[in-house]
A and B are shown apart, each in its own frame.
Chain A
Amino acid sequence: MAGELAISMRGVRKRFGSKCVLDGIDLDVHAGEIVGYVGPNGSGKSTTIKLLLGILPDFEGEIRVAGFDPRHAALEIKRRVGYVAENAVLYESLTIAEFLLFVGRVHGLDDATIERRAVACLESLELEQRVSSRISELSKGMRQKVLLTAALLHRPQVLLFDEPLSGLDVHSQMLVKEVLRQFAQAGRAVLFSSHVMDVVERLCTRIAILDGGQLVAHGTFDELTRTLRGGSLEGIFAAITGDGDAQERATRIVRAIES
């Protein structure tokens, strides 16, 4: 049974100059759901997330996140959303603790709450020993763990995760997937954008496939395999997005380089 509507997009169009990057997106995400949002590079996934957050205010159509319109109430949305960006920027000269204190304070949390929640997250992510290290010294995976912690600190209603498992080791990936499952079970909505198809296939309750700015397929994994007659999400994805024969294209690359 679907929960309360957390994200709603109706006829969303976004242009950058003459280029249309999103063309008539209709998508709902309910509380308790993890919706996989997949598509080839440049298909408009990150742009969608930026629209949902109100970072890009200029678009056509209707969007509601946690009941708010990002064009008029971006701040209210940001208070309720936990966001992990694909290419996130961090304050390099801050320590992990200083960065998390900064983010928590911006969300209006008191220092004791920030510390309690952050320490619990960092311990589970095996980063508690590095809490005094500057962010500039961290590896990509460690930065990702800091970002995940920062995104969860304020107990968001909606999670917008753009490649959240990027750079994480296997243990941390398993942990984050389990965290997302439990968050969804607790009634939170998750929009999960990733290129790792088997993770999306196993983790997400519904999957939306984006190609060229349009939503080309949408449903549960079982529905997609039934209607599109594929055995795996990777196969379905390749068939829908028209990637064609990978072997033939690889041969073309190798020939060009070898010549």
Chain B
Amino acid sequence: MSVRGNPWSSRKSSSFLVNATLWAADRSRRWIELAGIDFAVFRVVLEQRVRMGTEAKFGGQPGAMTVGLGMILVGFALVMAGLGSGVAALVTRQPTLWMWIGQGAWIFMLTSLCVNYFANVLLDPSDIGVLASRPVGDRTIVGSRFAEVLLPTALLALCAASAPTVFGAFTLHPLGALVAFPLATLSSGLVVLAGMTLVVALALRVVGPVRFQRVMFWLQLAAAISIGAGPQLANRVIPMGTLTEAYSTHPWLAWVNPIEHHLALYALLGGDFESRTLTLAALVFVLPVALGGLAFALLRQDFIAALADRGELVRSARRGFRPSLFARVGSVVCRSKAARAVFGFTLALTRRERPYLRTVVPMAATTLVMAVVLTRPRASGTAAPMLVAGCLYYLAILPTFVYGVARVSEHAEARWWFDALPFSEPSAALEGGAKAILCGTLLPIAAFACVAASSCFESLAWRDGLLVFVALAALDCVSARFFMRKIPFSTAPSLQIHYRDLVTTFAILAVIGLLVFVHWLSTLHFAVWAAALALYAVAFALGWRALARLTPAP
């Protein structure tokens, strides 16, 4: 496919994100140069990255969601989350609750987005092969990636601030609400982004370029689990009063808590000119600049070297031709040699492919930890058995993204092997791939969660744990039919989401509800439990058999 028009003239982008990002970059030139960035090169690299993100990967793909639509969905979720803060303002007329709920939700959601998405943008090695040999400095590359996520963050900040600002303006001090909340939201957004960049800079400084990617992977994993499960775990382990007490007995905590800075800004705009209020309010502006400045000061060198290193994220076992325990399963569960071959190939890459590890491991670990943690009784009470089962059934959501991510490879150009090798049955490749993902990722996670919930926390009877496991295994098998349409690890990375996948995801959510209902019925009588178990076992057997008849996408 050729591009029409004069090939040498600068193609004007139609993307709002590209144009707005460049417009903002041009107006921030002085600040950018102050950070030690070569502005001319920065602008070229930034334009390239935003264009690639918005046009190349998404443009013209039938059935694919655009970046804009994805942004609108996240923005809508943030507006909805902001309503909680707005309602708190309406009901209580308390600025403290209003600010804590609004900013807490925003910081939590943005941090989660940073760990799962923005960190991948910052650490993306895909264009380093092009840039490493060109005169582009480490700071310029980091700066362009930082700027790439800055505008989406600002737009999301506007969404997060809309409801609390409007509601606050009617019920609280109008000037304080109209000015303080949007500024606070932007400030905390910058603090989160700068904090993430600072973590990257510190990790690079401490471990050096050779081990950087591996360390960042584990950090990202730990952060994702902490964000997902941390609040739940804290809620169950630490009594609420302890935190409140600590906060009141140690007033200095206000200095390190951005939300207290935001409250001070609100108070300042409401007429409180005490020196403590002034100083805390000043931190709204100083903190993001200080964190960002520190991050860029530390990122003088080695960032390109760290990303250019194609080392593995996790250590690989030096087995030679000796198969691992999981790999041996392939020869048992796959009937044809072609399926066994793809089973081994897929299983190996589920342990090596960076896009898979970076996406699946944090999300699976988070879902797993949350499912297990939620089964633990709260500090002040006991866990309801139905809630425990419901949490475990939620693990059925994993296939919705695991199969999707398993299509993608950063070495997709190796796909020609599949075209060149004599596959007599195209479905054999899909069978081997699907079974490898089931046996190597999905079923072990389900088994671990059920055993953990049944044995460690004793909040679930063993027979209930067994029922949940068989139900999950059946659903994982059946859902492969809908998600497993391409040979694993053979498609170039792209963030496209198909509407069909969304529909299947909603269908799975509905099935999870049904499973919870059946689980409740199974607690009423042993016969119902036995019938449900038999039904799930049959569904699993049928689903497993159907894996040999998967049809590839055209």
Contact A102:B48 (CB < 8 A) given known A55-B304, A132-B7, A134-B3: yes
Say whether B133 contacts A85, CB under 8 Å: yes
Say whether A106 contacts B44, CB under 8 Å: yes
Chain B 51-65 near chain A by CB (<8 Å), digits 1 or 0: 010011100000000
Contact of B48 among A90, A91, A114, A133 (CB under 8 A): A91
Contact A98:B1 (CB < 8 A) given known A75-B135, A106-B45: no
Say whether A78 contacts B134, CB under 8 Å: yes
Contact A106:B3 (CB < 8 A) given known A57-B302, A111-B8: no
Tell me if B275 is interfacial: C-beta within 8 Å of chain A: no
B301: nearest chain-A partner, CB-CB: A57
* Minimum CB–CB distance for A142 against chain B, Å: 14
Instruction: Give complex CA distance A90, B342 in Å.
Output: 29
Say whether B40 contacts A93, CB under 8 Å: no
Tell me if A155 is interfacial: C-beta within 8 Å of chain B: no
Say whether B208 contacts A58, CB under 8 Å: yes
Tell me if A137 is interfacial: C-beta within 8 Å of chain B: yes
Contact A93:B133 (CB < 8 A) given known A58-B210, A132-B4, A134-B1: no
B308: nearest chain-A partner, CB-CB: A55
Say whether A107 contacts B209, CB under 8 Å: no
Contact of B130 among A55, A57, A89, A119 (CB under 8 A): A89
Say whether A105 contacts B305, CB under 8 Å: no
Residue from B1, B11, B130 with most neighbouring chain A CB atoms (10 Å): B130
Tell me if B269 is interfacial: C-beta within 8 Å of chain A: no
Say whether A55 contacts B129, CB under 8 Å: no
Tell me if B10 is interfacial: C-beta within 8 Å of chain A: yes
Tell me if A97 is interfacial: C-beta within 8 Å of chain B: yes
Say whether B2 contacts A132, CB under 8 Å: yes
A81: nearest chain-B partner, CB-CB: B133
Say whether A103 contacts B134, CB under 8 Å: yes
Say whether A106 contacts B8, CB under 8 Å: no
Which chain A residues (46-73) contact chain B, with CB distance < 8 Å? 50, 53, 55-58
Which chain B positions have C-beta within 8 A of A88?
129
Contact A95:B2 (CB < 8 A) given known A78-B134, A106-B135: yes
Interface size class of A (residues with CB under 8 A): 35 or more
Chain B 176-206 near chain A by CB (<8 Å), digits 1 or 0: 0000000000000000000000000000000
Tell me if A222 is interfacial: C-beta within 8 Å of chain B: no
Instruction: Give complex CA distance A57, B210 in Å.
Output: 11
Say whether B134 contacts A98, CB under 8 Å: no
Tell me if B109 is interfacial: C-beta within 8 Å of chain A: no
Which chain A positions have C-beta within 8 A of B308?
50, 55-56
Tell me if B41 is interfacial: C-beta within 8 Å of chain A: yes
Tell me if A209 is interfacial: C-beta within 8 Å of chain B: no
Instruction: Give complex CA distance A98, B48 in Å.
Output: 10
Say whether A56 contacts B48, CB under 8 Å: no
Chain A 106-135 near chain B by CB (<8 Å), digits 1 or 0: 111001001100110000000000011110
Contact A89:B129 (CB < 8 A) given known A57-B302, A105-B44: yes
Say whether B56 contacts A93, CB under 8 Å: yes
Say whether B132 contacts A93, CB under 8 Å: no
Say whether B130 contacts A97, CB under 8 Å: no
* Minimum CB–CB distance for A14 against chain B, Å: 12
Instruction: Give complex CA distance A105, B41 in Å.
Output: 7
Chain B 5-33 near chain A by CB (<8 Å), digits 1 or 0: 00110110000000000000000000000
Instruction: Give complex CA distance A254, B41 in Å.
Output: 54
How many A-B residue pairs have C-beta atoms within 8 angstroms? Tell me. Answer: 97
Instruction: Give complex CA distance A98, B131 in Å.
Output: 15
Which chain A positions have C-beta within 8 A of B86?
none
Instruction: Give complex CA distance A53, B305 in Å.
Output: 11
Say whether A101 contacts B137, CB under 8 Å: no
Which chain A positions have C-beta within 8 A of B135?
75-76, 78-79, 106-108
Say whether A108 contacts B10, CB under 8 Å: no
Tell me if A83 is interfacial: C-beta within 8 Å of chain B: yes
Instruction: Give complex CA distance A102, B134 in Å.
Output: 11
B131: nearest chain-A partner, CB-CB: A106
Instruction: Give complex CA distance A46, B21 in Å.
Output: 37
Which chain A residues (12-30) contact chain B, with CB distance < 8 Å? 16-17
Instruction: Give complex CA distance A103, B134 in Å.
Output: 8
Instruction: Give complex CA distance A133, B133 in Å.
Output: 24
Tell me if B127 is interfacial: C-beta within 8 Å of chain A: yes
Contact A93:B48 (CB < 8 A) given known A55-B132, A107-B135, A132-B2: no
Tell me if B136 is interfacial: C-beta within 8 Å of chain A: yes
Which chain A positions have C-beta within 8 A of B3?
95, 98, 132, 134
Residue from A88, A103, A105, A118 with most neighbouring chain B CB atoms (10 Å): A105
Contact of B44 among A17, A102, A118, A133 (CB under 8 A): A102
A102: nearest chain-B partner, CB-CB: B48
Say whether A133 contacts B2, CB under 8 Å: yes
Which chain B positions have C-beta within 8 A of A83?
133
* Minimum CB–CB distance for A94 against chain B, Å: 8
Chain A 152-194 near chain B by CB (<8 Å), digits 1 or 0: 0000000000000000000000000000000000000000000
Which chain A positions have C-beta within 8 A of B301?
57
Contact of B7 among A76, A81, A97, A107 (CB under 8 A): A97
Residue from B7, B131, B133, B208 with most neighbouring chain A CB atoms (10 Å): B133
Instruction: Give complex CA distance A118, B304 in Å.
Output: 27
* Minimum CB–CB distance for A100 against chain B, Å: 9
Instruction: Give complex CA distance A90, B136 in Å.
Output: 16
Instruction: Give complex CA distance A57, B306 in Å.
Output: 10
Say whether B52 contacts A91, CB under 8 Å: yes
Which chain B positions have C-beta within 8 A of A107?
134-135
Which chain A positions have C-beta within 8 A of B126?
89
Which chain B positions have C-beta within 8 A of A131?
7-8
B4: nearest chain-A partner, CB-CB: A132
* Minimum CB–CB distance for B43 against chain A, Å: 9
A57: nearest chain-B partner, CB-CB: B305
Which chain B positions have C-beta within 8 A of A103?
134
Say whether B8 contacts A115, CB under 8 Å: yes
Chain B 505-516 near chain A by CB (<8 Å), digits 1 or 0: 000000000000
* Minimum CB–CB distance for A75 against chain B, Å: 5
Contact A75:B137 (CB < 8 A) given known A93-B52, A106-B45: yes
Which chain B positions have C-beta within 8 A of A89?
126-130
Instruction: Give complex CA distance A96, B134 in Å.
Output: 17
Which chain A positions have C-beta within 8 A of B1?
133-134, 137
Instruction: Give complex CA distance A91, B56 in Å.
Output: 10
New contact pairs (9) apart from A57-B305, A105-B40, CB-CB < 8 Å: A53-B133, A55-B304, A78-B136, A89-B127, A93-B52, A107-B135, A131-B7, A134-B2, A134-B3
Interface residues of A (CB under 8 A from B): 16-17, 50, 53, 55-58, 75-76, 78-79, 81, 83, 85, 88-93, 95-98, 101-103, 105-108, 111, 114-115, 118-119, 131-134, 137
- Nearest 9 CB-CB pairings of A with B: A89-B129, A93-B56, A97-B7, A78-B135, A83-B133, A132-B2, A115-B8, A132-B7, A105-B44
A-B CB contact pairs (8 Å), 10 listed:
A17-B210, A50-B308, A55-B304, A57-B305, A78-B133, A105-B44, A111-B10, A119-B8, A132-B2, A132-B7
